[in-house]
Chain A
Amino acid sequence: MINLILALLSGVVGALLTALIPAKNDRLRTTVVFAALASALIFSWRTALLVFAGAELELTFGLAGLTWRLAPDPLGAMFVLIASTLWLVAGLYSAGYMAGKRNLKSYYSFFLLANSITLGVACAGNLVALYLFYELLTLSTYPLVIHERSAEAVKAGAKYIIYSLSGAGALLAAIVITHALTGHSDFTSVPVLAGQTGKGLNWLLALFIAGFGVKAAIMPLHRWLPEAMVAPTPISALLHAVAVVYSGVYGIIRVVYTVFGPELMSSLTFAKALPWIASFTILVGVMIATRQDVLKKRLAYHTISQLSYILLGAFTLQPLGLSGAMLHMISYSLLKVTLFFCAGIIAEQTGETVVSRMGGVGWSLPKTMAAFGVASLGMVGMLPLNTFWSKYYLMRGGVASGSWPLALVLITSGIINAVCFIPTVVAAFKGESQGRVHLESGSSVSLMLVPTVLLAGISLLIGLWPGLVWDGVQAVVNSFF
């Protein structure tokens, strides 16, 4: 219990301290930020391992006339592990990327605050608490989106807020209906709505999906995401490729497996349409990505496509599909953060943000582009990388659910992914190495490079030895089937 509380509080306390430290005192701020991130990481891991070991952690509060519950289960613990680990990595990268930039105080305060809130999303034990953290996540990440303070950033921020709050509105409606139907919304081993009948449940499911779908960037609710790329790169990498969007994905998995439950889901008409909605987003997202010339935009549309891989796995309602979804949740997050980190290094060191002008950049940034290449292969789903395994299980899940075309969707998407990334990697090593300036030396670059290469390495490791994460994945699957 104490681990859970400390994991959740580390970020908040760190944020408050950061806000109190004078803006000029960089050294003290860095110390506080890393202390907070490390403490969040340690206690998150302890919490998660306890949960995987079968401990039942539960905290309830009676506030605002409702019950608020924190009770991480294996699914939540999985999200906790991904979020807290990547947060520290992104913090490390930030130390290099943000060095010498403006408004660091507000950057790090909200960066830490968002950590606590994301862990809150993961640990929420009922819909009301989940809604609270989901809403707070929007508010706490908004200042990070508009960090540049430019007109473009303000516009993107407004779009982000409006989309997210509209989604939260749909979600609130769904939660109130759930409460009216059952009187509670606690996540337990019995699905919240188990035993309910009626056609209205299709609409309720649609409300839930629309609510979480905004953050999970299901098309056509995705428009805020590409624009949010005006944020600093570590934010794009961590929040808009993983934490924020995963809170939507996580919410949908919760709804499917804990609120409705596979049994009830399989009886709903709308649930049958969901894998196809996800497939549409997968294909269209990656196709649009291929046409983007600005690297961060390309990555953003690619994110939209990849998130629906996870959703597709969850929507198959098969243990195999869910295994694939969980594997992809882990694998994709590692690779995507790597890609964004690379994009950030390229932009910082060469000033280049457009893909078509990145020819030969690999000779100046060999390690960066090597990591980029590894991650690109991963996005295609090639064997030595972790995503191979997730795609394999996603396809098996699709086939097991009786829709073999879903496997075809994934294969097609893999090919488009190759078109999307491989040419860039090849082009980066075009031309002569002679006469190029080597741009990978200096302390701030190494601070960015170390986490990037580290993540690419971990992805390879999991690809070669998937057993590393398999137990966790199975724990999640077994908690629902």
Chain B
Amino acid sequence: MMTSWTTHLPVFVVILPLFVGFILPTLARRLRLVENLVIAVEVISFVMAAALAVLLFKQNGSPIPYAMGGWPAPWGIRIIADNLGVLFLLVIAIVGLPIALYTKGNLREEVGGRSRTARFYALYLLLMGALAGMAVTNDLFNVFVLVEVATLSACGLVSAHRNPRAAEAAFNYLILATLGSGLVMGSIGFLYITTGHLNMEFAARELAQVWQHSPHVVWMAASFMLTGFGVKAAMFPLHVWLPDAHSMAPTPGSAVLSGLAVKGYLICLLKILYNVFGQTLMRHFTMHHVLTAAGIAAILAGSILALRQDELKRRLAYSTVAQVGYIILGFGFVNQRGLAGSLFYLASHALIKSTLFLTAGAIISATGKTKVSELAGVGRKMPLTMGAFTVASLGLVGIPLFSGFVGKWHLLLGSFESGNFAAAAVILAGSVFCAAYLFPILRNAYFQETPGENWQDPGMAQRAAFVLLSAAIIFFGILPTPLLTLAQRAAADLLFLQ
């Protein structure tokens, strides 16, 4: 039957990378096979995500549920491929494939050793599986498990670099991220005590009725959840681990961490805030104000910190802190336009930041220079790499017809709808800051020269990755409708609008 394979898609999309990830270390001697396997997994994931999106559009956005082992909820675990989940699955797939392509043939140089490389790939796939799980999960305890899997594999990715400072960064990350996990765990415990459910829908239904019996416990749960995910998603001022971790990781690691991993935690936070606590409780605990305030602070502080970095990858890492601010800001607007804008921005930033990190990595490994001020003349010598970097920069600044603009437009609509003019001003100021820390790189690269050096664009697979990513940034800038529709429906789901 045709339907039989599509019904299992929501779970396949999670277990495929997990299972393949586990067998990779045994194939360390055949590194080329490992590379091709990873690419194959990414291609299949992309096809599955696309198939889910098509299914979802066919039934006008009503979610695709899947009962694990055939057990119905609340006894069994129910996962749901809804608009939000499929949106994030698509993002993972669209970003994951180019990152996998980028690693082809040049990861060993950065990581060193066959078995180390194979282990890197194993962790990479584990992380991808965990992220896919976050997209479709509908269970609080599963959230915790997936968060742990993601965190530990992310720590592994950071420490994969041979640089000793990477180990230090990974250790810092581990300590803080574990603290975050602890808070999330505590929060889930509080919710379980209060409601007796781990399934999000059931917990939400119960919570709406009983929260007034123990408002302080529920408040604790909410604030633990916010702080826990705040640490993991590098919400300012809990971002201290991020610049080291994201700049020390090997290039594809940085790309996947900044592009996707942070977003996974944000999606979890979003699901729990809106689906479990619901907007009434969020407003009651004034969590939306906390979110907007944190977003504003992150945009301003992250941008200013990014401006002061001379090391290219650190500048990009601080930029992530700022850009996460945009997404959190949208979470705090509690209206459909703002949330849709925030989700679109999340997708757009995933594409843009992974492009920036991958191209930066390619530039650093070709030139051996890590500082912004030393990169004069790169643009002429590595036209394709710098071209992709330029497209991503324009996207991040929010020039029309690049994907970032669409996200910012809807975020602005959302901020005006919620009457938050300060947030709108910060969104716009953030664009100017963004130009201030990215355009000097472009100016150096194109309008200055370093004579004599023979720098070249990387190999075919890497070039293909750059072309794919920049094409996606432009495509979603010009034709955002499919992704935007998903984001708008997801926002409507989160707000329980019809």
Contact = CB atoms under 8 A, between A and B. Distances in A.
A64 to B, nearest CB: 5
A415 interface: no
A157 interface: yes
Nearest to A103: B447
Nearest to B400: A132
Contact of A135 (B400, B409, B479): B400
Contacts of A136: 399
B55 interface: no
Interface string A142-186: 010010010000100110011001100110110011011000000
Q: How large is the interface on A (under 10, 10 to 19, 20 to 34, 35 or more residues)?
A: 20 to 34
A149 B478 contact: no
B27 interface: no
Interface stretch (B115-123, B169-177, B255-263, B423-431): B423-431
Contacts of A173: 412, 424-425, 428
Interface string B400-428: 11000110110011001100000011001
Contact of B480 (A64, A135, A139, A177): A64
B428 A132 contact: no
Contact of A162 (B400, B413, B424, B436): B436
A437 interface: no
A176 B448 contact: no
A149 B412 contact: no
B94 interface: no
B412 A172 contact: yes
Interface string B47-82: 000000000000000000000000000000000000
B481 interface: yes
Contacts of A260: none
Contact of B417 (A64, A131, A149, A180): A180
Interface in B367-386: none
B109 to A, nearest CB: 34
B413 A165 contact: no
Given A63-B479, A176-B416, A139 B447 contact: no
A64 B401 contact: yes
Interface in B429-458: 429, 431-432, 435-436, 439-440, 443, 446-448
A65 interface: yes
Contacts of A158: 436, 440
B439 A65 contact: no
B484 interface: yes
B477 interface: yes
Contacts of A180: 413, 416-417
A169 B477 CA distance: 18
Nearest to B430: A169
Contacts of A154: 443
B435 A165 contact: yes
Contacts of B412: 172-173, 176
Given A131-B400, A146-B443, A146-B447, A64 B478 contact: yes
A161 B484 contact: no
Contact of B478 (A63, A143, A146): A63
Nearest to A134: B400
A106 B401 CA distance: 24
Contacts of B480: 64-65
A169 to B, nearest CB: 3
A179 B479 contact: no
A169 B479 CA distance: 23
Interface string A52-79: 0000000000011110000000000000
A169 B432 contact: yes
Q: How large is the interface on B (under 10, 10 to 19, 20 to 34, 35 or more residues)?
A: 20 to 34
Residue among B397, B428, B436 facing the most chain A CB atoms (10 A cut-off):
B428
A149 B424 CA distance: 35
Given A169-B428, A180-B416, A157 B405 contact: no
The secondary structure that dominates the B interface is helix
A280 B38 CA distance: 66
Contacts of A66: 409
A208 to B, nearest CB: 14
A135 B399 contact: yes
B400 A64 contact: yes
Nearest to B402: A64
Interface string A98-138: 00000000100000000000000000000010011001100
A65 B428 contact: no
A115 to B, nearest CB: 19
A170 B412 CA distance: 12
Contact of B431 (A106, A169, A177, A179): A169
A139 B393 CA distance: 12
B483 to A, nearest CB: 10
A136 B401 CA distance: 11
A207 to B, nearest CB: 10
Contacts of A176: 409, 412-413, 416, 424
A143 B439 CA distance: 12
A107 to B, nearest CB: 12
B85 to A, nearest CB: 22
A89 B480 CA distance: 41
Nearest to B435: A165
Nearest to B398: A172
A128 B409 CA distance: 11
Contacts of B413: 176, 179-180
B406 A65 contact: yes
Contact of A166 (B397, B405, B432, B440): B432
Contacts of B478: 63-64
Contact of B432 (A64, A65, A128, A162): A162
Contact of B447 (A63, A143, A162, A166): A143
Given A149-B448, A154-B443, A173-B424, A161 B435 contact: yes
A215 to B, nearest CB: 15
B6 to A, nearest CB: 29
Nearest to A147: B447
A131 to B, nearest CB: 7
A65 B416 contact: no
A66 B400 CA distance: 10
Given A166-B432, A180-B416, A65 B484 contact: yes
Given A65-B481, A176-B409, A165 B447 contact: no
Nearest to B484: A65
A176 B429 CA distance: 15
A163 to B, nearest CB: 9
A173 B416 CA distance: 9
A131 B431 CA distance: 15
Contact of A64 (B424, B436, B446, B477): B477
A64 B477 CA distance: 6
A27 to B, nearest CB: 24
B447 A149 contact: yes
B203 to A, nearest CB: 35
B282 to A, nearest CB: 24
Contacts of B439: 161
Nearest to B485: A65
A189 B172 CA distance: 63
A177 B397 CA distance: 20
**3 smallest A-B Cβ distances: which pairs?**
A169-B428, A176-B412, A132-B400
11 contacts: A64-B477, A64-B478, A65-B409, A135-B399, A143-B447, A161-B436, A165-B432, A169-B432, A172-B412, A176-B409, A179-B413
Given A161-B436, A176-B424, 13 more contacts: A64-B400, A64-B401, A64-B405, A64-B477, A132-B400, A136-B399, A165-B432, A166-B429, A166-B432, A170-B428, A172-B408, A176-B413, A179-B413
